[in-house]
Amino acid sequence: PRITFVSPDGTRRAVDAPDGETLMRIAVHHGVEEILGECGGACCCATCHVYLDEASMTRLLPADDMELQVLEFTAAPRRAGSRLACQVLADRRCEGLIVQLPATQI
């Protein structure tokens, strides 16, 4: 799917992501510096925090309990669209997804 990462300053980076890869790994692979992913995708560091829009949220599989717990510890404010990028898998539901990056992860 085509996924666009948007930095806090408005810089947009559109990438073609392989199915089955996490948004965190896709971002790191493409040099998106706002995503740290310190725990390597184990859902325990909250440094892969992103904001998705509400329409996209309804298309994706919802966050599970563990993700919701770790979302309590994001450095930037948690919002309705907050997700952990390591817990969102790229697939056809992500086509055209806009991923807003927070100003800080630590």
Dihedral sign, CA of 89, 73, 36, 58?
Answer: positive
# residues contacting ligand FES (CB under 6 A): 14
- Token duo for residue 22: 């996490």
- Scanning 1-9, 11-19, 39-47, 72-80 for contacts with ligand FES by CB under 6 A, the matching segment is 39-47
Stated as kind and residue range, the H or E segment containing 5 is: strand 2-6
Which residue in 6, 41, 78, 91 binds ligand FES (CB under 6 A)?
41
| Binding site residues, ligand FES, CB under 6 A | 24, 37-39, 41, 43-48, 70, 84, 86
